[in-house]
Amino acid sequence: MPLLIRNADIVNAESRSRGDIYVENETISRIGQNLQAPPDAEVIDATGKLVFPGFIDPHVHIYLPFMATFAKDTHETGSIAALIGGTTTYIEMCCPSRMDDALDGYRLWKSKADGNSACDYTFHMSVTKFEARTEAQLREIVADGIASFKVFLAYKNFFGIDDGELYQTLQLARKLGVIVTAHCENAELVGRLQQSLIEQGKTGPEWHEPSRPESVEAEGTHRFATFLEITGCAGYVVHLSCQRALDAAMAAKSRGVRLWIESVLPHLLLDKSYAEHRGVEGMKHVMSPPLRHHRHRKVLWDALGAGFIDTVGTDHCPFDTAQKLLGKDAFTQIPNGIPGIEERVNLLYTYGVKSGVLTLQRFVDAASTQAAKLFGLFPRKGTIAVGSDADLVIYDTGYHGTISAATHHTNCDYSGFQGMIIEGRPAIVTVRGKVQVRDGKFVGERGRGRMLRREPGYF
């Protein structure tokens, strides 16, 4: 069915305009004044609301075997939560461990999403070892439409790669025209610090941050950037959390290294005092890199406002209370991760735009357009333009609400952002022209989401 959105206040990353948007065959076919629609078209009046391109979360975990358990969402629950929050595309980390075969892992991750996601999706393919068959396997995965890799400098012996494997991965990525995303922490130093703290009887969640201080993230960021510089590969630091890592990344950018930076909602809005609560309350806020001293939040917001930080993701990674308690005797056993897929856009709008730190354009850029450009989805995604997929968010800036696990849709019994106020939420969310969400309720088609094939070599 065609769709006509009348009186739209259209906000793109580089423009703002008023008009009607007409959608046929899943794409935007016309933008203009007083557009006419056939009698069978669905007509939505967007007067008084903002209309954004569908938001893109560049960093989520849905299926994830990790730390002796599995993250709690399925693509069904995760995608519905994403859509209710205005995210119409997510990029999932495909994370087979070092013990697994990469190609088998890729097929497994794909099978979990296939037919189950209500929003569109793609994957960053993790390279967790580099052996004789790895190049051929990665070439096959890229030919299947995956144009970005992921490496972990942390999580030794599980996801983590050594420097030789990092070099080989970046060299291949450079040849293929694939961008490499990286979790930057020094695995060896984290392991040594963890061991020393545990030996001193420092076992609670409040010791997670001291086991991964700023210096280990700065070292990982600097090392990743140095390897990019030598190989000429393009890179993207995920979930950058602190001043020293930002300094390392900015120094590399100013040397001409092709490097982009992501921050995630927990580091922008929470701080280490949340993980210092006693028992499971603290454990709920254990993620890596850890929540930092609150002074880093302003550093990140300022860098985001200035465009030094390019994108905002969630690192959505839900483990419930029972799973968090796996770490009751040692913080090293607490499954790392905080959910947030549903809250990202509303929190960024409330604490970024409404508080005056982000312009509307920077907000759209950081939460949608930049990810589309960096990961080979633009202009199909990330903009409201003729020819683009009709992923649209009609946003109600008059909404007031409070975040609560009692009302969220992710499959997790707590929210890392419990009790926070939001001032705005999507009234309507469409995926390729079909209304999937109305006023906080999923009203659409489960399984509508498609895997987005991406071409490498767009750098």
Contact 30, 24 (CB under 8 A): no
Nearer to ligand URP, 155 or 395 (CB): 155
Q: Which stretch binds Zn ion (CB under 5 A): 2-10, 182-190, 294-302, 338-346?
A: 182-190
- Judged by DSSP in three states, 347 sits in helix
* Total residues binding ligand URP (CB under 6 A): 8
Closest residue by beta carbon to ligand URP? 336
**Interface positions, 326-355, toward ligand URP (CB under 6 A):** 336-337
Q: Does 183 sit near Zn ion (CB under 5 A)?
A: yes
The interface partner of residue 344, options being Zn ion, ligand URP, none and the CB cut-off 5 to 8 Å by kind, is: none
Q: Does 222 sit near Zn ion (CB under 5 A)?
A: no
Contact 167, 231 (CB under 8 A): yes
Among 165, 310, 315, 343, binds ligand URP (CB under 6 A): 315
In the complex, least distance from residue 38 CB atom to Zn ion, rounded to whole angstroms? 45
Picking from 286, 394, 317, 419, the residue whose alpha carbon sits closest to that of residue 81 is: 317
| Helix 163-176 vs helix 134-143: crossing angle, to nearest 10 | 40
- Judged by DSSP in three states, 113 sits in helix
d(CA 296, CA 95): 29
Closest residue by beta carbon to Zn ion? 183
**Interface positions, 241-300, toward ligand URP (CB under 6 A):** 287-288
Q: Does 150 sit near Zn ion (CB under 5 A)?
A: no
Name 205's Cβ contacts closer than 8 Å, sequence gap at least 6: 275, 276, 277, 282, 283, 285, 286, 327, 331, 334
d(CA 120, CA 413): 25
* Cα distances (angstroms) measured from residue 371 to each of 54, 67, 88: 12, 28, 12
Among 75, 183, 222, 408, binds ligand URP (CB under 6 A): 183
In the complex, least distance from residue 133 CB atom to Zn ion, rounded to whole angstroms? 25
- Residue 17: count of CB within 10 angstroms of its CB: 11
Q: Does 180 sit near ligand URP (CB under 6 A)?
A: no
In the complex, least distance from residue 65 CB atom to Zn ion, rounded to whole angstroms? 14
Among 61, 296, 297, 362, binds ligand URP (CB under 6 A): 61
**Interface positions, 305-344, toward Zn ion (CB under 5 A):** 315
In the complex, least distance from residue 358 CB atom to ligand URP, rounded to whole angstroms? 23
- Residue 40: count of CB within 10 angstroms of its CB: 7
Picking from 429, 379, 330, 296, the residue whose alpha carbon sits closest to that of residue 5 is: 429
In the complex, least distance from residue 245 CB atom to Zn ion, rounded to whole angstroms? 13
The binding site for ligand URP (CB under 6 A) comprises 61, 183, 287-288, 315, 317, 336-337
The binding site for Zn ion (CB under 5 A) comprises 183, 315
